[in-house]
């Protein structure tokens, strides 16, 4: 029998009477509002006598105009009282003592600006680190932590006429920050990607607004969705708190309507005088509030991120006392593991392979607001990401979560702890803010995981508190995970660039406790990412452009970002592509490294999808500061090489080649089975001529949400050691045995135990003339070793002694005959053992390759109608890492024809780029610019860049941007190949 007090119904004609709604619309009193003129001044300049400050007409002519939401320091910068903080070392030269102190915020609001209602409420969404709120001389309360909301009834304090004074004393977080000042922006005191921000981001950092209501208000309405295994019906559960501010009991009707579907419901609710009580509306056994065939919320690539809205109102005697709109998604998160124990995420019953990135901050001075979040998340969608990690909870704005909901980007959401062996100074304030965070954000379908600590475990009692908070206030619908890099995860890092084969090789190392070896689920791993020249010169003084110098380190290309290994990055660009004559050339060459390393990072994980790998998130996917490391698009929204490498690797249906073992695989991270597909590989020399003997074509099926082996490409034909018997003195537990050093696969390796006196040898099967031995070292190489030969594996002759070994490729020329070849380690270069990807042996006369020193591999995946589904392009070298022949290519000739079309506030440039020359047009970069001043038109969404065209080929490029960026002028296209 149905409960007579609870009536759920599907009423197509159900419409709420909007005319009786209370004035719940927000009246914003941010600084952008015409009714508020916020100003700030240091507390020490005012003193303790604040009586006059809290009265109308107080003289603020000597105060500084404040940005709300924003920070104290940002307000001084906006007022022109500090130099451009993005440029050079300006932010490092600021006098911190001017801002590392408490400040008063003050504004006056005219009475006519207040909404009408029985109760008028003053609302704060966030103050960092604390804020004492005063209204018309009355202290309303203390906001303690940037998630601590303020909702103050100011009805009886509003002046009948004239101005009303709102003032907030903002307390700065104080040093030290981690984890003492939490909850706060932990990185504000400086990190290896962000400078110390004076004032430590103190300020009114979120919205301030007024609302009105009747006697009963709705507090934190929360919609949960329950899905059975077949997903054919969704059941809605609603929880809401009612707060009765009157001195008498109230009886009213809670009404709601869910769209799409016009699903209406209502229930009578009684609330005692002066009480706040929780009410639950559950389907119960009759399951009466059900949505048949629901439109589910899916992560990007797995389906549409469908959203519903629920309009709630509480009516007393036919008059709306309060109302609230909830946006939610119907979804179900589950968690399991693959064989071996790697953490795996499931949505709506389907395993989801995670491809994402970390956000350190939205912007280092909290200047990212409103629609800019939509842009940033849109760029993540365009990169084919499906998750963002909100690192240490440093992004707090609602617009971030709204955009993630909209674009299907899941959130791995951290709290405000960073592996420091100390508790917050006020654990109770921390916990209150944690509860507030959960209650404020739990309606967002994008949140997939709540995480306690970055690279550590929350100290007692916080770990238990956070776990219970999630269980209580999110009903355990999402997982609480204590540690960001352990317990089913494969660690953090590494954060520097590697050759592509490293990402495919067994156990690409990470750091953490209780971590799983191998690929698994990696919550952060990254590479240094240098900007393009036009961005570089925006923040770097011209006298510091070249050669590399200490000023680069102010933007984290030096010791301050040691985890990014800038020295390694710099030397890799030189080794791979040749020494640069200046900064512009270096920036061009660095984009090729950005593409190659970032694409390989994701493809290396996908190569092992579901066997061991379940997800990967780069450190970092967006730029909070004008930096030279860890980004996919830069601070100015230039989409550099890393962006395009990631976008290609993460496409939902993808064909890829492993530099390590030369296998080709097809990856399908959608829920659609692909049948009768054609996979094709072609190899071209530098002159664009196809080398058909290396090509392949094969018909394949690609199961949904899985990976398919396609074929193997062979480039080496005369390695005498390949697949021969190998013997080693020992084998490390974190690598393969001796056979892995002679299997022709740069994606496997042998490593010894961690001592100096170790060796490995290969049996060629019979005596052979030997002209060359190649040792392909991993990072754990031999600083000193001997190369020895033998005819019986007992008596050895030393033919080479190297006392200055280096990582990477080591080529030794010989003139000898032997059956056995040994590498005898004498001194290790690292604390680890000796580690070899491959030990190759070649005869006196190597077979001359018909491939040019650098050549190209193009892969295509087409459907049964011949439509292109995925295309991928690589450059490969005969000598590992040596791509310098690219610089000797003949100059390419290109034509570009384009048109522009306006669609609302947007403009779209459609361009046809054609290779009209007789050579390959490699890594073609297209940039739209204003004709008036030559500035890049940024931000912009593009479909492709850094593409390669063979002779006669063309590509259509689309560039979407806000029309206002043209400033009423025209555009031009700059089209540049690598050569």
User: Which pLDDT score, from 0 to 100, does residue 287 have?
Assistant: 52
Written as six digits, the tokens of 486 are 């352990």
- Can you tell me whether residue 153 is helix, strand or coil? strand
Query: Each residue of 322-334: pLDDT tens digit?
Result: 999 999 999 999 9
Backbone φ, ψ for residue 675 (5° rounding): -115, 150
Cis preceding-peptide flag for 742 (omega within 30 of 0): no
Distance CA 217, CA 269 (A): 12
How many residues are there in the chain? 979
- Residue 313: HSE in the Cβ half-sphere, 13 Å Cα cutoff: 21
User: Which pLDDT score, from 0 to 100, does residue 286 have?
Assistant: 39
Cis preceding-peptide flag for 176 (omega within 30 of 0): yes
User: Which pLDDT score, from 0 to 100, does residue 410 have?
Assistant: 99
Distance CA 741, CA 679 (A): 30
- Can you tell me whether residue 455 is helix, strand or coil? coil
Report CA-CA distances (Å) from 246 to 187, 220, 276.
44, 19, 11
Distance CA 941, CA 918 (A): 31
Name the nearest CA neighbour of 417 among 392, 390, 450, 391.
392
Distance CA 838, CA 349 (A): 42
Give the largest Cα separation in the chain, rounded. 105
Distance CA 14, CA 56 (A): 48
Residue with tokens 């990401």: 385
Query: Each residue of 808-828: pLDDT tens digit?
Result: 889 999 999 999 999 999 999
Written as six digits, the tokens of 327 are 């946006």
Residue-by-residue DSSP string for 323-382: EEEEEE-B--EEEEE-TT--EEEEETTEEE-EEEEEES-S-TTS---THHHHHHHHHHHH
- Can you tell me whether residue 418 is helix, strand or coil? coil
Distance CA 291, CA 258 (A): 10
- Contact indicator for 429, 183 with CB cutoff of 8 Å: yes
Distance CA 560, CA 544 (A): 17
Count of CB atoms situated within 10 Å of the CB of 475 = 13
Backbone φ, ψ for residue 388 (5° rounding): -125, 135
- Contact indicator for 133, 124 with CB cutoff of 8 Å: yes
pTM of the model: 0.93
Count of CB atoms situated within 10 Å of the CB of 447 = 22
Sheet holding 39-42, edge to edge: 64-65, 39-42, 103-110, 163-171, 130-135, 138-144
Name the nearest CA neighbour of 267 among 250, 251, 278, 286.
251
Sheet holding 921-930, edge to edge: 947-949, 921-930, 971-976
User: Which pLDDT score, from 0 to 100, does residue 942 have?
Assistant: 98
Q: Sign of the C-alpha dihedral, residues 359, 360, 364, 369?
A: positive
Count of CB atoms situated within 10 Å of the CB of 472 = 11
Residue with tokens 């452009």: 545
Interacting residues of 370 by C-beta distance below 8 A, sequence separation 6+: 399
Distance CA 944, CA 645 (A): 10
Q: Give the residues across from 925 on adjacent strands.
A: 976
- Contact indicator for 154, 122 with CB cutoff of 8 Å: yes
Mode of pairing for the β-strands spanning 696-702 and 782-790: unpaired
Distance CA 520, CA 490 (A): 5
Distance CA 60, CA 67 (A): 15
User: Which pLDDT score, from 0 to 100, does residue 513 have?
Assistant: 82
H helix count then E strand count, the chain: 11, 52
Q: What is the dihedral of CA 906, 912, 913, 916, to 10 degrees?
A: -160
- Contact indicator for 823, 762 with CB cutoff of 8 Å: no
> Which positions of the chain have pLDDT values less than 50?
1-23, 285-286
User: Which pLDDT score, from 0 to 100, does residue 354 have?
Assistant: 98
Q: What is the dihedral of CA 650, 651, 657, 663, to 10 degrees?
A: 100
Distance CA 135, CA 124 (A): 13
User: Which pLDDT score, from 0 to 100, does residue 15 have?
Assistant: 33
Interacting residues of 733 by C-beta distance below 8 A, sequence separation 6+: none
Distance CA 302, CA 292 (A): 21
- Contact indicator for 912, 898 with CB cutoff of 8 Å: yes
Interacting residues of 335 by C-beta distance below 8 A, sequence separation 6+: 343, 344, 345, 346, 479
Distance CA 323, CA 465 (A): 32
Residue-by-residue DSSP string for 313-332: EEEETTEEEEEEEEEE-B--
Count of CB atoms situated within 10 Å of the CB of 979 = 15
Name the nearest CA neighbour of 839 among 793, 770, 919.
770
Written as six digits, the tokens of 655 are 């064909």
- Contact indicator for 858, 678 with CB cutoff of 8 Å: no
Distance CA 928, CA 123 (A): 43
Cβ-based burial of 462 (10 A; exposed 0-12, middle 13-18, buried ≥19): buried
Interacting residues of 215 by C-beta distance below 8 A, sequence separation 6+: 118, 119, 244, 245, 246, 250, 316, 321
Name the nearest CA neighbour of 343 among 484, 444, 446, 229.
484
Distance CA 953, CA 922 (A): 12
């Amino acid at each position: 029998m149905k409960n007579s007090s609870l009536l759920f119904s599907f009423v197509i004609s159900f419409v709420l009477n909007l005319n009786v709604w209370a004035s719940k619309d927000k009246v914003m009193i941010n600084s952008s509002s015409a009714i508020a003129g916020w100003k700030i001044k240091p507390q020490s300049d005012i003193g303790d006598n604040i009586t006059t400050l809290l009265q109308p007409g107080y003289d603020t002519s000597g105060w500084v105009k404040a940005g709300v939401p924003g920070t104290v320091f940002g307000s001084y910068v906006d007022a022109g009282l500090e130099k451009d903080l993005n440029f050079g070392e300006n932010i490092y030269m600021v006098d911190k003592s001017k801002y590392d102190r408490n400040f008063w915020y003050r504004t006056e609001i005219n009475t006519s600006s207040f909404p009408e209602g029985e109760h008028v409420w003053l609302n704060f969404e966030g103050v960092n680190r604390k804020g004492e709120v005063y209204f018309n001389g009355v202290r309303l309360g203390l906001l303690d932590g940037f998630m601590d909301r303020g909702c103050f009834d100011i009805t009886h304090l509003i002046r009948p006429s004239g101005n009303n004074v709102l003032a907030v004393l903002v307390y700065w977080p104080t040093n030290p920050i981690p984890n003492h000042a939490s909850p706060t922006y932990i990185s504000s005191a400086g990190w290896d990607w962000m400078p110390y921000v004076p004032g430590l981001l103190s300020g009114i950092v979120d919205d301030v607004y007024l609302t009105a209501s009747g006697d009963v208000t709705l507090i934190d309405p929360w919609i949960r969705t329950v899905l059975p295994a077949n997903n054919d019906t969704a059941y809605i559960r609603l929880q809401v708190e009612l707060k009765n501010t009157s001195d008498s009991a109230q009886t009213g009707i809670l009404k709601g309507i869910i769209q799409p579907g016009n699903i209406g419901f209502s229930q009578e609710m009684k609330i005692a005088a002066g009480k706040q009580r929780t009410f639950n509306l559950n389907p119960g056994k009759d399951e009466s509030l059900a949505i048949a065939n629901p439109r589910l919320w899916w992560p990007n690539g797995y389906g549409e991120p469908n959203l519903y809205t629920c309009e709630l109102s509480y009516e007393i005697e036919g008059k709306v006392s309060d109302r609230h709109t909830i946006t939610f998604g119907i979804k179900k998160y589950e968690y399991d593991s693959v064989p071996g124990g790697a953490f795996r995420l499931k949505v709506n019953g389907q395993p989801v392979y995670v491809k994402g990135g970390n956000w350190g901050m939205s912007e280092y001075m909290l200047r990212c607001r409103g629609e800019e979040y939509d842009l940033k998340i849109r760029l993540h969608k365009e990169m084919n990401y499906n998750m963002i990690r909100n690192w240490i909870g440093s992004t707090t704005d609602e617009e971030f979560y709204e955009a993630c909901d909209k674009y299907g980007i899941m959130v791995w959401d951290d709290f405000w702890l960073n592996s420091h062996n100390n508790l917050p100074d006020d654990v109770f304030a921390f916990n209150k803010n944690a509860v507030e965070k959960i209650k404020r954000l739990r309606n967002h379908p994008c949140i997939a995981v709540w995480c306690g600590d970055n690279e550590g475990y929350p100290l007692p009692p916080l770990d238990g508190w956070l776990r219970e908070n999630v269980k209580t206030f999110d009903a355990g619908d999402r997982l609480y995970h204590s540690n960001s890099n352990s317990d089913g995860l494969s660690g953090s890092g590494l954060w520097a660039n590697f050759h592509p084969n490293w990402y495919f090789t067994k156990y690409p190392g990470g750091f953490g406790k209780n971590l799983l070896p191998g690929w698994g689920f990696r919550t952060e791993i990254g590479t240094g990412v240098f900007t393009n020249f036009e961005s570089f010169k925006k923040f770097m003084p011209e006298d510091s452009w070249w050669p590399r110098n200490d000023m680069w380190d102010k933007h984290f290309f030096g010791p301050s970002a040691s985890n990014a290994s800038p020295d390694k990055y710099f030397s890799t660009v030189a080794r791979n592509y040749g020494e640069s004559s200046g900064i512009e050339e270096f920036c061009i060459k660095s984009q090729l490294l950005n593409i190659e390393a970032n694409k390989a990072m994701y493809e290396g994980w996908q190569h092992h999808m579901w066997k061991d790998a379940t997800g990967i998130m780069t450190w970092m996917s967006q730029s909070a500061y004008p930096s030279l490391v860890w980004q996919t698009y830069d601070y100015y929204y230039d989409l550099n090489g890393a962006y395009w490498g990631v976008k290609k690797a993460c496409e939902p249906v993808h064909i890829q080649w492993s530099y390590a073992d030369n296998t080709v695989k097809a990856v399908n991270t959608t829920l659609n089975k692909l049948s009768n597909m054609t996979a094709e590989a072609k190899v071209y020399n530098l002159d664009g001529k196809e080398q058909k003997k290396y090509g392949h074509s094969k018909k394949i099926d690609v199961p949904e949400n899985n990976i398919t082996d396609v074929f193997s490409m062979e480039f080496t034909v005369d390695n005498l050691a390949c697949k021969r018997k190998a013997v080693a003195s020992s084998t490390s537990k974190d690598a393969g045995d001796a056979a892995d050093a002679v299997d022709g696969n740069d994606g496997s390796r042998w490593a010894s135990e961690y001592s100096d006196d170790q060796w490995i040898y290969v049996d060629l099967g019979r005596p052979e003339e030997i002209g060359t031995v190649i040792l392909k070292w991993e990072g754990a190489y031999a600083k000193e070793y001997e190369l020895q030969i033998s005819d019986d594996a007992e008596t050895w002759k030393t033919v080479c002694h190297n006392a200055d070994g280096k990582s990477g490729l080591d080529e030794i020329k010989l003139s000898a005959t032997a059956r056995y070849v040994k590498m005898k380690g004498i001194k290790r270069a690292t604390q680890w053992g000796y580690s070899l990807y491959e030990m190759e042996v070649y005869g006196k006369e190597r077979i001359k390759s018909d491939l040019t020193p650098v050549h190209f591999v193009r892969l295509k995946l087409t459907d049964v109608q011949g439509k292109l589904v995925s295309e991928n392009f690589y450059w490969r070298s005969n000598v590992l890492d040596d791509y310098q022949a690219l610089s000797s290519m003949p100059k390419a000739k290109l034509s570009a024809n384009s048109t522009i079309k306006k669609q609302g506030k947007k403009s779209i440039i459609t361009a046809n780029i054609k290779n009209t020359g007789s050579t390959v047009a490699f890594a073609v970069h297209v940039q739209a610019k204003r004709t008036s001043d030559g500035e890049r038109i940024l931000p912009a969404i593009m479909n492709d860049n850094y593409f390669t065209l063979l002779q006669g080929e063309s590509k259509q490029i689309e560039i979407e941007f806000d029309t206002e960026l043209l400033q009423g002028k025209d555009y031009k296209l700059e089209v540049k190949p690598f050569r």
